[in-house]
Amino acid sequence: MLIPENISKAEPAAPMIEATNIVKSYGALQVLKGITLSIGKGEIVSIVGASGAGKTTLLTILGTLDNPDGGTLVIDGQAIHGMKSKQLAAFRNRRIGFVFQFHHLLPEFTALENVCIPALIARSNKKDAENKALGLLRMLGVESRAKHKPSELSGGEQQRVAVARALMNDPAVILADEPSGNLDSVNAKNLHELFFQLRKELNHTFVIVTHNDELAAMADRKLVMKDGVIV
C-alpha cells in the first residue's frame, strides 16, 4: 500500500454514528454525563483527554460492547437500543471493526487464521474467507507473514494483522483504542497514515481514542473529553 505524503481531511458527510445524551455509571461513579455527538460517514475523529475522562467507556458503548444507562445510539441508520443480544452480536460482527493497543491476536493461530476469525464467526465460506484475508494482508504489506504466529511478528506487523482482522467483514466503522500506544515512533507514524489511506480507498469511518498528539491532530476532528463530557 502506498502511504500518502499529504493527509487530506474529509468533507462533512451524512451521519454514520449518532449518539444522543449517553450516560453511564458504574456504581456511584458517573463516568459519562450526557454525551451527544454525530460522526459522518468517512470521517476520522480522534478522542483525547486525561485518564479517567471516560474515553474508553464511550468507545465501548459506541462499539456496542457495553450498554449505556440512558440515551440513544444509531449506527449506519440502525437504532441500537432495543436490539436483542444475538442481533447485537451479529450487527457488531458485520458492521464494526476494532483495533486495540495490544492487538489481541490469538497466539495459537497464524496471522491468516486470526484475520479469518470474524468471517468464520459470520459463517462465511472458509476458502472465501482465506482468499479475502490474504488480499487484506497483501494490501497492508504483510502477506509474506500470513503463515507466521503472532510471536513471530514484530509489533508493527502484529498491529497491521489486527487492522486486517478489523476490516475482514467490510465494517461501516472502525473503532481504535490507543492503536499506536504499544508501537515505536516509526511504526506509529506508519499506522496513523495507514488509517487515512484506508479511508481514502475504502471510505471507512474511524473513531480513535489516543494519547498521541500527532494522530489526534491529523484527524478531521479532535474531541476533548473531561470528567465524562465533551468540552
Name the pLDDT band for 2 (thresholds 50, 70, 90): very low
Q: Which residues of 199-222 are buried (b: 16+ CB within 10 A; e: fewer)?
A: beeeebbbbbbbebeebbebbbbb
SS3 for 48?
strand
Name the residue with cell 498528539: 213
**Residue 134, pLDDT above cutoff 50:** yes
In this prediction, residue 1 carries a pLDDT of: 45
Name the pLDDT band for 13 (thresholds 50, 70, 90): low
Name the pLDDT band for 170 (thresholds 50, 70, 90): confident
For range 120-128, the mean pLDDT? 89
**Residue 30, pLDDT above cutoff 50:** yes
Question: CA 57, CA 158: separation in Å to the nearest integer?
Answer: 25
* Cα-based distances in Å from 18 to 41, 108, 167, 226, 230: 11, 38, 22, 20, 15
Q: What pTM did the predictor assign? A: 0.84
**Residue 7, pLDDT above cutoff 70:** no
Question: CA 185, CA 41: separation in Å to the nearest integer?
Answer: 29
List of domains in the chain: 44-53+84-223 (3.40.50.300)
First to last CA, the chain: 36
Highest mean pLDDT among 66-75, 81-90, 157-166: 66-75
For range 187-208, the mean pLDDT? 85
In this prediction, residue 4 carries a pLDDT of: 46
Higher pLDDT, 8 or 71: 71
Question: What type of residue sits at position 214?
Answer: E
Entry field: residues in the chain: 231
SS3 for 135?
helix
**Residue 8, pLDDT above cutoff 60:** no
Question: CA 110, CA 14: separation in Å to the nearest integer?
Answer: 38
In this prediction, residue 11 carries a pLDDT of: 54
